[in-house]
Amino acid sequence: MSATRDKFGRPIVVVTGMGVVTSLGTGKTDNWAKLSAGESGIRTITRFPTDGLKTTMAGSIDFVPVEPFSSTDLSERLADLATEEAVAQSNLGTKGDFPGPLFLAVAPVEVEWPQRQELGRAIGNQTEINYDEMLRVSGGGKFAPYHRRFLFGSVADHLAETFGTKGSPISLSTACASGATAIQLGVEAIRRGEADAALCVATDGSVNPEALIRFSLLSALSTQNDPPSAAVKPFAKNRDGFVMAEGAGALVLESLESATARGARILGVLAGCGELADSFHRTRSSPDGKPIIGCVRNALADAGVTAEQIDYINAHGTGTPENDKMEYLGISTVFGERASEVPVSSNKSMVGHTLSAAGAVEAVFSLLTLEHQRIPPTINYDVPDPSIPFDVVPNKARDARVTTVMSNSFGFGGQNASLIITGEPI
Amino acid sequence: MTDSSRPNESATEAWITGIGLATSLGEGLDANWDGLNQQRVNVDEKGFAPYVVHPLAPVSFDAQIPKKGDQRQMEAWQRIGTYAAGLALDSAGIKGNKDILARMDMIVAAGGGERDLAVDSAILNAEAKGNAAPGFLNERLMSDLRPTLFLAQLSNLLAGNIAIVHGVTGSSRTFMGEEAAGVDAARIALARIAAGQSDIALVGAAHNGERKDLLVLYEFGDFNLKNKYAPVWARGEQSGFALGSGGAFLVIESRKHAEARGAKPYARLSNVVADRAARKNPGDVTATLNKLWSKLGKLDDSAAIITGATGAEPVTSEERAFLAAHPGAAVRATGTTFGHTLETQFPLGLALAALSISRGKLFPPNDTSGLEIETAKAPSQIVVIGAGHWRGEGMALVEAPR
């Protein structure tokens, strides 16, 4: 075994660049300062009227202007910002020429209301509006840019063009585990030896009326609107749902060999990835927790570490009654008595649930936790839930020796993915 | 260039051991094979006029999705895909084999589901009549959207439904991005198997072309075939694609894994390569296809070609320029028979290539332009081509098992 291969003989995969945008701000410095200070990015929504909505707050990003607004345009803009930061930090390749493939986690795309309403206006009020009429006015080039904009592959295409990634860019969705899956695809590509570097990006700009209402109709969202900053209460007894949020995370992954050869600064190691699908229900986890347990065990096995070596868990921790209960069941089954000793905190208590971006945003935060040796808190934790006896690092960040982090992501459709991230090669 | 599966002496050989097809020609391998040999085309010029679409042939969903409750939770594209996935598992002989399904990897190429057209239209009509009070949209969506519609539209819920209905749970990944997603699903599945990261994978996609909301998206770019059906190569001035309906799934597994369970291959999946031509200058796609061809591995002079050419321009002409450099090859365009099924077109091409190899002949041409030529030879190599209507180029080499 050479020093650049892991105990299974695979190339060790390291992180040499990372970037992040959340409702807390743009960039690692700003985000880390606020995250470790326990600040919330959740605000009352001002982007659109919230009349008649049960949930009126979100971790929306209004400091990145997008005009006219579409969620896909915002997703693209956020991905740009995070990727620029990550690529600049890695100092890999040259501007517009990134020497590896792109894996992009992105929310599913479709034509949105502002554009649909534009079609309605093009039809006018003299005719009954229906899809036949919409079809009649859609062609002829007047709305040509909307074709590209609302293709599923358009954000990845833009990133591939801008950053010069190589080959066919992959857009993917594993719902709320998407960000972790993007990273996993990059890790696998480097381990196969088909690339020395990969750009793994995850982005989500989904705070629009219909997306919010869709989650609201599934009773998934918190309705504790006042104050918005106190809405997300992961692992607390009075938790009542997640809060939608926007953001992007980007990681430059590289083989340790390639990173060392060019003298790059190594920010951390992607030691292992695990996944396992749940066949129980479209939105609920199997009550026995087996898929989550299996996912966590797969990640540990892939990294070649034991549960005893994990000294911080960056939880999925959405703040829904169901998720947090199931996450405790999964972790306590694998970790046994240590489940109440290992610090487990949820970044979502502060930034909200960045959905497709969450896995990558939280991987960046896990790496920052390793760098700063300081665990960001779970805020809004005032009423402990006795059935979830985690050490949630309540309300205040904590200095701690952290060497090996597990970051979990679970999503609708039975999606489970876990990452093991370390400071040094193991 | 993404060399995910560069020919490698030590790479694990991968076989296609299961094929599931539910298309506009019918469900199952025989119905599709017979339809192709009879040069049958199921096309609807009236239902969505002036747009031409290929409707799904009648399918008894109960046969693969026994619970009505499951069917109700799905949109048409999810039902088609879940059905075709079940056929693929059946065909591979692993339906219900919990041991294998629990560790089977899955990569689905997906778009999304159909919107509620009535809800959209009612809102736009009300707004046109001046009802634009703040919160009007919220109020209507809150009361008119079915809560479960979201899940029926969500891209990764085709994979989710396959997990629920068929128990495929080793892993579940959904690729999006139109035609390229179908190429990359096969490319990544093969690369993982070749590198020993996976033993067996379910790969595929589904598409419902009978959708006005999708027609709107492609109408923005004037990509829809209008008024009259014509074979892909004979569209000339009237370029465009007719949306197709169908699901195509494959079971791909390492030869070792297949042999250990006594499974027989339809064909060997030797290579999948993909790239993204910038498409800024004329000739970009032709050049990329040439480059991909050179990466496939050793090709015989007799290799046949099954292409997902869309009929949209300028990409179809660029592909024709590429094909013109291979004048001896027997070419078949799936778009002529099945229409354009976006994410599904490449898995469909792989399925038909594997089927042709297993049946020892290529299905006949269905083309009035003369581009597709007859051949009686048993194909030993078929190259599958997918060049997206707007972006993404891919190729695969499907071979007779040795």
List, for residues B361-386, the tens digit of each pLDDT value: 999 999 989 999 999 999 999 999 99
The predicted structure's pLDDT at residue B292: 98
Q: Do B160 and A188 touch (CB under 8 A)?
A: no
Phi–psi pair at B77, nearest 5 degrees? -65, -35
Chain A 190-219, residues with CB within 8 Å of chain B CB atoms: 191-194, 209-210, 213-218
8-state DSSP, A338:
G
Residues A35, A345: Cα–Cα separation, whole Å: 12
8-state DSSP, A27:
S
> Catalytic annotation on A158?
no
Q: Give residue A235's Cα distance to chain centre.
A: 19
Q: Do B135 and A189 touch (CB under 8 A)?
A: no
Q: State the Cα angle at B389 between A188 and B54, rounded to 5°.
A: 105
| Whether A46 contacts A84, CB under 8 Å | no
Name the CATH superfamily housing domain A15-112+150-422.
Thiolase/Chalcone synthase (3.40.47.10)
DSSP β-ladder status, A374-375 and A344-345: unpaired
Cβ of residue A164 closer than 8 Å to a chain B Cβ: no
Phi–psi pair at B384, nearest 5 degrees? -100, 130
The predicted structure's pLDDT at residue A86: 98
Task: Give the HSE-up count for residue B8: Cα atoms under 13 Å, Cβ half-sphere.
Answer: 19
Residues A25-73 have pLDDT tens digits of 999 999 999 999 999 999 999 999 999 999 999 999 999 999 989 999 9
Q: Which entry of A200, A273, A353, A372 is annotated as an active-site residue?
A: A353
| Whether B344 contacts B110, CB under 8 Å | no
Chain A 313-372, residues with CB within 8 Å of chain B CB atoms: none
Rounded to whole angstroms, what are the CA distances from A154 to A149, A161, B135? 6, 10, 30
Residues B342, B53: Cα–Cα separation, whole Å: 13
Q: Do A113 and B155 touch (CB under 8 A)?
A: no
Residues A363, A104: Cα–Cα separation, whole Å: 14
Q: Where are the alpha helices (DSSP H) in B250-381?
A: 255-260, 284-295, 315-324, 334-338, 345-359
Q: Do B2 and A168 touch (CB under 8 A)?
A: yes
Question: In angstroms, what separates the C-alpha of B101 from chain A's closest C-alpha?
Answer: 11
- The tokens describing B396, both together, are 């695969």
Of B128, B213, B221, the CB nearest to A125: B128
Contacts of A49 in chain B (CB under 8 A): 134-135, 138
Q: Give residue B267's Cα distance to chain centre.
A: 18
Contacts of A413 in chain B (CB under 8 A): 151, 154, 156-157, 159-160, 163, 172
Q: Do A280 and B164 touch (CB under 8 A)?
A: yes
Contacts of B219 in chain A (CB under 8 A): 135, 138-139
- The tokens describing A111, both together, are 């034509």
Report domain extents, chain A: 15-112+150-422, 114-148
Rounded to whole angstroms, what are the CA distances from A57 to A237, A404, B364? 21, 34, 60
Question: In angstroms, what separates the C-alpha of A313 from chain B's closest C-alpha?
Answer: 22
Contacts of B224 in chain A (CB under 8 A): 139
Residues B400, B402: Cα–Cα separation, whole Å: 6
Residues A67, A74: Cα–Cα separation, whole Å: 9
Residues A241, A58: Cα–Cα separation, whole Å: 12
Q: Give residue A187's Cα distance to chain centre.
A: 16
Q: State the Cα angle at A106 between B6 and B391, rounded to 5°.
A: 55
Contacts of A52 in chain B (CB under 8 A): 135, 138-139, 142
Residue A14 Rama label (left phi>0; alpha psi -120 to 50; beta):
beta
Question: In angstroms, what separates the C-alpha of B72 from chain A's closest C-alpha?
Answer: 13
Give the torsion sign (CA, B94, B96, B99, B100).
positive
Q: Do A108 and B176 touch (CB under 8 A)?
A: yes
| Whether B168 contacts B94, CB under 8 Å | no
pTM of full prediction above 0.95? yes
Of A131, A144, A191, the CB nearest to B213: A131
Give the torsion sign (CA, A161, A164, A165, A166).
positive
The predicted structure's pLDDT at residue B7: 46
Question: In angstroms, what separates the C-alpha of A207 from chain B's closest C-alpha?
Answer: 13
User: B242: buried, middle or exposed (CB in 10 Å: 19+, 13-18, 0-12)?
Assistant: buried
Q: Which residue of A has its CA nearest to B225?
A: A139
| Whether A278 contacts A416, CB under 8 Å | yes
Residues B303, B362: Cα–Cα separation, whole Å: 11
The predicted structure's pLDDT at residue B236: 86
The predicted structure's pLDDT at residue B9: 53
Q: Count of residues for chain B?
A: 402
Contacts of B289 in chain A (CB under 8 A): none
Query: Residue A257 CB: number of other CB atoms within 10 A?
Result: 16
Pick from A236, A206, A244, A195: which is nearest to A75 by CA? Answer: A206
* Residue B379, preceding peptide bond in cis (omega within 30° of 0): no
- Candidates B216, B223, B238, B389: best to mutate against A (most CBs of A within 10 A) is B216
Contacts of A168 in chain B (CB under 8 A): 2, 180, 183-184, 187, 274-276, 392-394
**Considering chain A, what is the average pLDDT of its residues?**
97
Q: Which residue of A has its CA nearest to B162?
A: A279
Q: Which entry of A158, A273, A295, A316 is annotated as an active-site residue?
A: A316
The mean per-residue pLDDT over the stretch A5-24 comes to 98
- The tokens describing A293, both together, are 């347990």
Q: Identify the segments of chain B with pLDDT beneath 50.
A: 1-7
The predicted structure's pLDDT at residue B1: 41
Diameter of chain B by CA atoms? 69
Q: Which entry of A158, A176, A200, A273 is annotated as an active-site residue?
A: A176
Q: Do B1 and A167 touch (CB under 8 A)?
A: yes
The predicted structure's pLDDT at residue B301: 87
Q: What are residue A410's DSSP bridge partners?
A: A416
Please enumerate in sequence order all residues whose Cβ is within 8 A of that of A228, keeping only pairs 6 or more positions apart, or say none. Answer: A40, A42, A43, A44, A57, A243
Question: In angstroms, what separates the C-alpha of B311 from chain A's closest C-alpha?
Answer: 17
8-state DSSP, A413:
T
- Candidates A48, A97, A151, A178: best to mutate against B (most CBs of B within 10 A) is A151
Q: Do B275 and A192 touch (CB under 8 A)?
A: no
Pick from B307, B345, B335: which is nearest to B323 by CA? Answer: B307
Residues A376-395 have pLDDT tens digits of 999 999 999 999 999 999 99
* Residue A169, preceding peptide bond in cis (omega within 30° of 0): no
Confidence of residue A2 (pLDDT cuts 50, 70, 90): low
The predicted structure's pLDDT at residue B365: 97
DSSP states along A160-221:
HHHHT--S--EEEEBTBTHHHHHHHHHHHHHHTTS-SEEEEEEEE---SHHHHHHHHHTT-B
Rounded to whole angstroms, what are the CA distances from A379 to A235, A351, B312, B348? 10, 10, 53, 50
Q: Which residue of B has its CA nearest to A140?
A: B222
3-state secondary structure of A3: coil
- The tokens describing B176, both together, are 């999006």
Contacts of B392 in chain A (CB under 8 A): 153, 168
Residues A409, A177: Cα–Cα separation, whole Å: 5
Residues A121, A141: Cα–Cα separation, whole Å: 16
Say how many CB pairs under 8 Å bridge A and B. Answer: 263
| Whether B165 contacts B84, CB under 8 Å | no
- The tokens describing A352, both together, are 């909200």
DSSP β-ladder status, B304-307 and B381-387: parallel
Contacts of A143 in chain B (CB under 8 A): 220
